[in-house]
């Protein structure tokens, strides 16, 4: 697996019972995954020769993030390396412009969008709005953004200068008046076998995923099946191998629009570690190794995941003790990362039959660990 973050850490964890030998390409020995994996290669994933040396002896390579240049992946494939997901799929998770063009051609509902040239073009895009809209407009660099970075909401031409400064193409999108965000997680193998996890609700705070509720409360079986079908269609049409997260906006009239795609285990699937028969991490490995996929069904009526963000104090140990003692059923997942304010350093999962209780337990633990509550 290329990339030493928490996704690789948790993928290795899931690979141990499967008997999978896991090799990691990591920037530093301190990276989250590098702390727990035996076979660690240190190097820069942007360097083709590093990737070539890393891949030698691997049955397949897969990814903790979407940042490996597509041209390197094509070169590896030409060498005979199994790259999963492959570059033809992965480009849709790397470049939001390519993704929007392809999904629209497939008839997959997306927010109104257009690549824009400059701030005046942003105004033209806003004024083109056939509905009641116009400004505000969402601007995104087509590459390199994550967790709210690389995304701006602008209300005028004057505010639209900033996104163009990086020199990366900018995509303009209507600001969707969504009622909530959902995520449809599916996994697909090279054989074409696919499984769909229950559709979840994802609660974002400041552009960062805060809480995930599985399944999404109040979502009708028809709407859930529609969202799963949409994600399976995307996986099939784009030839995705491995885990695919489709982030969705749910609108007031009950439609869903695709927000983002991720082709790797995803924050909206962390609940599966303790809430599903087979976790997204295990199924991602099973898929990229072309093993039969595991049962994606939930194990409890409700599972809630809350991200643990770093707070003002670097030492979380007292909070960790408190949370383990207060709630013996709490499932804690720490990433081995140094605490910095706002940084994702772990998550907690809770499950049970009473959603309000399950949600309160997750919320309390995440807030206590961050230090925003003290009792």
Residues 6+ apart with CB under 8 A from 271: 200, 212, 214, 303, 304, 305, 349
Residue 332 in contact with a copy of itself, rule: CB under 8 A? yes
Distance CA 104, CA 87 (A): 20
Smallest distance from a copy of itself to CB 160, Å: 42
Q: Shortest CA distance to 66 belongs to which of 40, 43, 85, 47? A: 85
Q: Which residue number, 125 or 335, has a Cβ lying nearer to a copy of itself?
A: 335
Count of residues that bind a copy of itself according to CB under 8 A:
40
Smallest distance from a copy of itself to CB 321, Å: 7
Q: Which of residues 174-213 bind a copy of itself (CB under 8 A)?
A: 195
What's the distance, CA 30 to chain centroid? Answer: 22
Residue 321 in contact with a copy of itself, rule: CB under 8 A? yes
Residue 41 in contact with a copy of itself, rule: CB under 8 A? no
Smallest distance from a copy of itself to CB 28, Å: 13
Q: Which of residues 51-110 bind a copy of itself (CB under 8 A)?
A: none
Q: Which of residues 339-368 bind a copy of itself (CB under 8 A)?
A: 346
Selected from 13, 64, 95, 247, the binder of a copy of itself by CB under 8 A is 13
Residues 6+ apart with CB under 8 A from 140: 96, 150, 151, 152, 163, 170, 171, 173
Q: Which stretch binds a copy of itself (CB under 8 A): 14-22, 85-93, 122-130, 245-253?
A: 14-22
Q: Which residue number, 140 or 270, has a Cβ lying nearer to a copy of itself?
A: 270
Angle at 37 between CA 190 and CA 322, to 5 degrees: 110
Residue 17 in contact with a copy of itself, rule: CB under 8 A? yes
Under 8 Å between Cβ of 345 and 309? yes
Residue 161 in contact with a copy of itself, rule: CB under 8 A? no
Residue located via tokens 């009239």: 253
Selected from 38, 206, 220, 374, the binder of a copy of itself by CB under 8 A is 38
Selected from 2, 8, 25, 34, the binder of a copy of itself by CB under 8 A is 34
Q: DSSP strand E in the chain: where?
A: 23-26, 39-42, 113-116, 137-141, 151-154, 170-174, 178-188, 194-196, 200-205, 208-214, 242-251, 256-262, 302-309, 331-334, 344-352
Residue 324 in contact with a copy of itself, rule: CB under 8 A? yes
Under 8 Å between Cβ of 347 and 10? no
Q: Which residue number, 17 or 218, has a Cβ lying nearer to a copy of itself?
A: 17
Under 8 Å between Cβ of 167 and 158? no
Q: Which chain residues interact with a copy of itself by CB under 8 A? A: 9-10, 12-13, 16-19, 21-22, 34-38, 40, 195, 273, 277-278, 286, 291-295, 299, 320-321, 324-325, 328-329, 331-336, 346
């Amino acid at each position: 697996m290329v990339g030493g973050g928490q996704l690789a850490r948790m993928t290795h964890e899931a690979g141990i019972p499967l008997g999978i030998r896991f090799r990691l390409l990591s920037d530093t020995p301190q990276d989250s995954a590098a702390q727990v994996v035996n076979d660690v290669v240190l190097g820069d994933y942007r360097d083709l020769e590093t990737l070539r040396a890393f891949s030698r002896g691997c049955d397949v390579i897969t990814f903790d993030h979407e940042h490996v240049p597509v041209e390197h992946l094509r070169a590896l494939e030409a060498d005979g390396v199994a790259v999963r997901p492959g570059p033809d799929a992965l480009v849709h998770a790397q470049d939001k412009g390519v993704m929007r063009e392809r999904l629209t051609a497939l008839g997959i509902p997306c927010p109104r969008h257009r690549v824009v040239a400059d701030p005046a073009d942003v105004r033209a895009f806003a004024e083109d709005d056939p509905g009641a809209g116009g400004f505000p407009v969402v601007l995104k660099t087509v590459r390199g953004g994550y967790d709210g970075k690389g995304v701006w909401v602008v209300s005028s031409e004057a505010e639209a200068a900033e996104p163009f400064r990086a020199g990366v193409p900018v995509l303009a999108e209507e600001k969707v008046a969504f009622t909530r965000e959902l995520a449809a997680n599916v996994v697909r193998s090279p054989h074409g076998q696919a499984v769909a996890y229950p559709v979840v609700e994802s609660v974002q705070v400041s552009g960062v995923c805060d809480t995930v509720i599985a399944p999404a409360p109040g979502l009708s079986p028809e709407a859930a099946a529609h969202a799963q079908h949409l994600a399976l269609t995307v996986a099939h049409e784009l030839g995705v191998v491995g885990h695919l997260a489709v982030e969705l906006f749910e609108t007031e009239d009950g439609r869903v629009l695709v927000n983002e795609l991720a082709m790797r285990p995803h924050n909206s699937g962390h609940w599966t570690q303790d809430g599903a028969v087979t976790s997204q991490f295990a199924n991602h490995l099973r898929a990229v190794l072309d093993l039969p996929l595991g049962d994606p069904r939930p194990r409890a009526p409700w599972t809630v995941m809350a991200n643990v963000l770093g707070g003002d104090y670097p030492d979380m140990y007292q909070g960790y003790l408190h949370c383990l003692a207060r709630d013996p059923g709490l499932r804690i997942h720490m990433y081995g990362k140094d605490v910095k304010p706002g940084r994702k350093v772990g998550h907690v999962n809770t499950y049970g039959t009473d959603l309000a209780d399950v949600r309160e337990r997750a919320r309390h633990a995440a807030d206590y660990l961050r230090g925003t509550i003290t009792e």
